Amino acid sequence: MKRVAVIGASGYTGRELGRLLRGHPSLRVEGLFGGREGVAPDAPELPVDDVLERLDWSRIARCDGVFLCTPHATSAELAVRALDAGTKVVDLSADFRLIDPEQYRVVYQHTHPAPELLKEAVYGLTEHARGAVAKARLVANPGCYPTSILLALRPLIDAQLVDMNAPLVCDAKSGVSGAGKNPSGRTHFGASHENFLAYGVGTHRHAPEIRLHAGTERIVFVPHLLPVFRGILSTIYVPPAAGVNARNVAACLSERYRDERFVRVYERGMPELNRVQMTNECHIGVADCGPFVVVVSAIDNLLKGASGQALQNMNLMLGLDESAGLS
């Protein structure tokens, strides 16, 4: 058995990890810890079998792996200390998703606490970074919106099926859990119930991450807030290269993900949220639509978009079956 811990276990992603780890055949949970040293955590909403504990670095040092479910800036400092203790780290914050510390400063409005680790961190889009993840000691878990978009888009760009001189429009919708546990004027029940809106248009922090890891600045990303708790559905308007249509795109995606446990490419029809909620799967559908090929991608933002993918990555880092604890 390998030992792991979750730091920041009271948030949505930390709670999901606690649930997944309870059924893991090869991982023993050393502790579910609060995210701030010296602060007694309080999380009455956790399942009754989970106990949230004060952060204890002597116990972290006994671990083979640590999940960081803490806010950006906080995570980077915790990652440094965990790595120094000899444990492998999967960071679910945004702290290691960008490579350039100056870009990080512009996007997140503060100086990166550990810029020396930015180039070491592996961007853990698991199906596209499996070999690098398996060798890594620090993995940056992708954001939920980027996961839904990049899984659908990366194979098409790699295969040169996209007209890279035209904009790629990514119209994505997320449930309110994507905003985290702390409520805001937009995400509490009274504001989100029976409502639907675009937000962060032109300013969302995931846009630079998507462009960086797609390898193009021509992505137009517009996020929306759905009146549901969990799930992301992304509609991507792909300008096809000359002679390319939906049949070519679907064939490319089907071939790329033919042997993947957690990615399903539809032969017909389109994904829906209720087919992926509470799973670690990404479902993808393709159709011709006027001058575009439309690709629709659906994931559970808390699982494939966060905790599930984090567990995939940690499994690889510790030499375990990638799907352990996720079936």
Active-site residue set: 144
Question: In sequence order, what are the residues at sequence separation of 6 or more whose Cβ sits closer than 8 angstroms to the Cβ of residue 20?
Answer: 307, 308, 311, 325, 326
- Residue ranges with strand state E in the chain: 2-7, 27-33, 52-53, 65-68, 88-91, 122-123, 138-140, 168-174, 197-198, 219-225, 232-238, 263-265, 282-289, 292-299
Evaluate whether 231 touches 299 at the Cβ level (below 8 Å): yes
Q: Computed over its alpha carbons, how large is the radius of gyration of the chain?
A: 19
**Angstrom distance (rounded) from CA 140 to CA 31:** 21
CA angle, residues 20, 23, 275, in degrees to nearest 5: 55
- Residue ranges with strand state E in 203-273: 219-225, 232-238, 263-265
Evaluate whether 149 touches 102 at the Cβ level (below 8 Å): no
Evaluate whether 224 touches 175 at the Cβ level (below 8 Å): no
- CB neighbourhood size of 98 (10 A): 24
**Angstrom distance (rounded) from CA 192 to CA 248:** 39
Q: Which helix (H) or strand (E) holds 74?
A: helix 74-84
Evaluate whether 89 touches 120 at the Cβ level (below 8 Å): no
Beta bridge partners of 52: 32
- CB neighbourhood size of 40 (10 A): 9
